[in-house]
């Protein structure tokens, strides 16, 4: 199989498993990834999702033979196909569980969409990133909302147009990766994030992600004040909020751990 999902305790690990093709994806793999994220998201026993890849490289992006075949189809068929990739990005971005991308080797083209749609990313110091689409005469359209959100419009302007290879340390500075570590530290660094995520309230984590999406582009006006006040009032009185506060005051472990 080109995509596998394995659950270990409360952690689901979704793996791109096509190393012979550098984990390049096509319509079949896109469908399998989408299904895997929907499965992990709906599993009450899962608290954290790790997106990872087998072999030396995270992903070379879209399979070029598949893209060539798509180029021979009409505009509506291409639009329908592009929407499938869009739904995958949305499934990662809106997964009801925190998502960590574990990145090694090359992460080119659409692979950056997978990484930037995740909540956080850890990369090896030898990882390389590239928005290579313009070299093929196209643009990273479907992944752009997530990549621009991660690196900002000004930086995206450069890398969307130059298709420069971005080394790991530069990716860290741009916001594509949250941490850059040696290859030997990759798994332990990912597991440290997993452990940290498992200590927090699951409802609060997703509310935090939604809060960031709302406040990052909104005006700080009365509507924003009302929205944030309503949110904290609702969470303070929620079952999870009451349990978290009680556990802290009683010096015990909350029931979600």
pLDDT of residue 1: 66
Q: Enumerate residues 6+ apart whose C-beta is below 8 A from 47.
A: 10, 11, 97, 98, 197, 198, 202, 256
Domain assignment present for 45: yes
**Token couple for 135:** 């070299």
Q: Tell me 78's DSSP state.
A: H
Q: Which residue has better confidence, 67 or 10?
A: 10
Longest dimension (CA), the chain: 65
Using the 3D structure, point to which of 198, 214, 233 is the last residue of a domain.
198
Give the tens place of pLDDT for each residue, 61-77: 988 888 788 777 788 88
Domain assignment present for 256: no
* Partners of residue 6 on adjacent β-strands: 13
Average pLDDT over residues 110-131: 97
Quick one: 234 and 141 in the same domain? no
Look up the domain containing 230 and give its range. 202-249
pLDDT > 90? residue 116: yes
pLDDT > 90? residue 4: yes
Confirm whether pTM is higher than 0.85: yes
* Other Cβ atoms closer than 10 A to 222: 8
How many residues in total does the chain contain?
257
Quick one: 224 and 193 in the same domain? no
Q: Which residue has better confidence, 111 or 257?
A: 111
Q: What is the DSSP string of 123-191?
A: EETT-EEE--GGGGT---TTTHHHHHHHH-HHHHHHHHHH--EEEHHHHHHHTS-SEEE-GGGHHHHHH
Give the tens place of pLDDT for each residue, 140-154: 999 999 999 999 999
Phi, psi of 70, deg, nearest 5: -65, -30
Quick one: 181 and 146 in the same domain? yes
Q: Are 124 and 182 in contact (CB under 8 A)?
A: yes
Domain assignment present for 257: no
Which of 90, 29, 100 has the alpha carbon at shortest distance from 60? 29
Mean pLDDT of the chain: 93
> CA 66 to CA 138: how far, in whole Å?
15
* Tally of domains within the chain: 2
- The SS3 assignment for 48 reads strand
Average pLDDT over residues 213-230: 89
Domain assignment present for 242: yes
Quick one: 209 and 150 in the same domain? no
Residue matched to tokens 């752009």: 144
pLDDT > 70? residue 97: yes
Q: CATH number of the domain that 50 lies in?
A: 3.90.226.10
Domain assignment present for 255: no
Domain assignment present for 99: yes
Quick one: 59 and 175 in the same domain? yes
Quick one: 119 and 95 in the same domain? yes
184 pLDDT tier (thresholds 50, 70, 90): very high
Q: Which residue has better confidence, 171 or 77?
A: 171
Give the tens place of pLDDT for each residue, 17-47: 999 999 999 999 999 999 999 999 999 999 9
Quick one: 227 and 113 in the same domain? no
């Amino acid at each position: 199989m080109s995509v596998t999902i394995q659950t270990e305790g409360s952690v689901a690990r979704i793996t791109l498993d096509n190393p012979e093709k550098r984990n390049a994806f096509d319509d079949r793999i896109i469908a399998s990834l989408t299904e895997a994220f929907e499965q992990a998201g709906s599993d009450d026993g899962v608290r954290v999702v790790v997106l990872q890849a087998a072999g030396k490289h995270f992903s070379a992006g879209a399979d070029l033979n598949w893209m060539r075949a798509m180029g021979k189809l009409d505009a509506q068929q291409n639009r329908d196909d592009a929407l499938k990739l869009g739904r995958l990005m949305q499934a990662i971005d809106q997964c009801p569980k925190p998502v960590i991308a574990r990145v090694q080797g090359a992460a080119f083209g659409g692979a950056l969409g997978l990484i930037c749609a995740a909540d956080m990313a850890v990369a090896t110091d030898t990882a390389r990133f590239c928005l290579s689409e313009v070299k093929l005469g196209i643009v990273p359209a479907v992944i752009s909302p997530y990549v621009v959100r991660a690196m900002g419009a000004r930086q995206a302007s450069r890398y969307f147009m130059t298709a420069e290879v971005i080394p790991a340390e530069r990716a860290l500075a741009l916001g594509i990766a949250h941490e850059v570590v040696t290859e030997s530290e990759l798994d332990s660094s990912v597991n440290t994030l997993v452990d940290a995520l498992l200590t927090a309230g699951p409802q609060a984590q997703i509310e935090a992600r939604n809060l960031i999406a709302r406040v990052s582009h909104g005006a700080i006006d009365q509507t924003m004040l009302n929205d944030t006040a309503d949110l904290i009032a609702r969470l303070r009185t929620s079952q999870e909020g009451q349990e978290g506060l009680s556990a802290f005051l009683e010096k015990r472990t909350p029931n979600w751990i």
